Structure 1
Amino acid sequence: MSFKHFILQPLAIAFIGFSASAAADVTITFPTDVEMLAVNSEKPEMNGGVFASTKSITLPDGENQIVFRYTPVFHEGGERNAVNTNAIITKFTVSNTELTLEVPQYRSADNAKEFDKNPTWKLVDDKGNPVDVKQDKLIKNGVQLGRQYDTESVAYNKKGGIAAIIPASTAANIQVPVNSQYKTTEEQMLHYWYDKADKETKQRFIQSIIQVK
Structure 2
Amino acid sequence: MKIPYPLLSKFGLISAMFMAPTTLAAISVSLPVNTEPLLFNAQETDATRLTAEDGQQQIVFKYLANFRHQGQRQRFISEAVIVTFTGQNAQYSITLPKINSASDADRFNQRPSVSIIDDNGQQVDYRIDTLTKDGIQIGRNYREEINQYNLSAAPAAIKRQPPAMATYLASSTTSLSTTQVAATGSPDNATQINVGQMLDFWYQQADEKTRQAFKAKINAVDSEKSK
TM-score interval, normalised by the smaller of the two chains: 0.5 to 0.7
- Paired residue for 2:221? none
Q: Deviations over 1:130-182 (max 9, x none)?
A: 111111111100111111111100011112312112446xx9688449xxxxx
Q: Deviations over 1:25-73 (max 9, x none)?
A: 1111011111111112221262xxxxxxxx3111221112111111113
Q: Deviations over 1:102-124 (max 9, x none)?
A: 10123345533331133231211
In structure 2, distance between residues paired with 1:12 and 1:45: 37
Question: SS where residue 112 of structure 1 aligns?
Answer: helix
Q: Deviations over 1:83-116 (max 9, x none)?
A: 1111111221121010001101233455333311
In structure 1, distance between residues paired with 2:44 and 2:117: 23
- 2:126 is equivalent to residue 113 of structure 1: no
Structure 2 vs 1, CA of residues 45 and 96 (structure 1 numbering), >3 Å: closer, same or farther?
farther
Which of the numbers 90, 94, 101 marks the counterpart of 1:97?
A: 90
Are the counterparts in 2 of residues 99 and 126 from structure 1 also a CA contact under 8 Å? yes
Are the counterparts in 2 of residues 27 and 58 from structure 1 also a CA contact under 8 Å? yes
Structure 2 vs 1, CA of residues 13 and 66 (structure 1 numbering), >3 Å: closer, same or farther?
same
Kindly indicate which of the two structures has a greater share of residues assigned to helix: 2
- Paired residue for 2:27? 26
Question: SS where residue 20 of structure 2 aligns?
Answer: helix
How many residue pairs match? The answer is 172
- TM-score w.r.t. length of structure 2: 0.61
- 2:29 is equivalent to residue 16 of structure 1: no
- 2:31 maps to a residue whose letter is F
In structure 1, distance between residues paired with 2:18 and 2:31: 32
Structure 2 vs 1, CA of residues 63 and 76 (structure 1 numbering), >3 Å: closer, same or farther?
same
In structure 2, distance between residues paired with 1:87 and 1:120: 12
Q: Any residues of structure 2 matched to 1:161-180 within 5 Å, and which?
A: 161-167=154-160, 175-176=169-170
Question: SS where residue 72 of structure 1 aligns?
Answer: strand
Sequence identity percentage:
29
Question: SS where residue 67 of structure 1 aligns?
Answer: strand
In structure 2, distance between residues paired with 1:126 and 1:25: 13
In structure 1, distance between residues paired with 2:140 and 2:209: 28
- 2:29 is equivalent to residue 36 of structure 1: no
- Paired residue for 1:194? 207
- TM-score w.r.t. length of structure 1: 0.64
Question: SS where residue 43 of structure 2 aligns?
Answer: coil
- 2:151 is equivalent to residue 158 of structure 1: yes
Q: Which has more radius of gyration?
A: 2
Which 5+ residue runs of structure 1 have no aligned equivalent?
47-54, 178-188, 198-213
In structure 1, distance between residues paired with 2:20 and 2:107: 49
In structure 2, distance between residues paired with 1:26 and 1:38: 16
Structure 2 vs 1, CA of residues 8 and 76 (structure 1 numbering), >3 Å: closer, same or farther?
farther
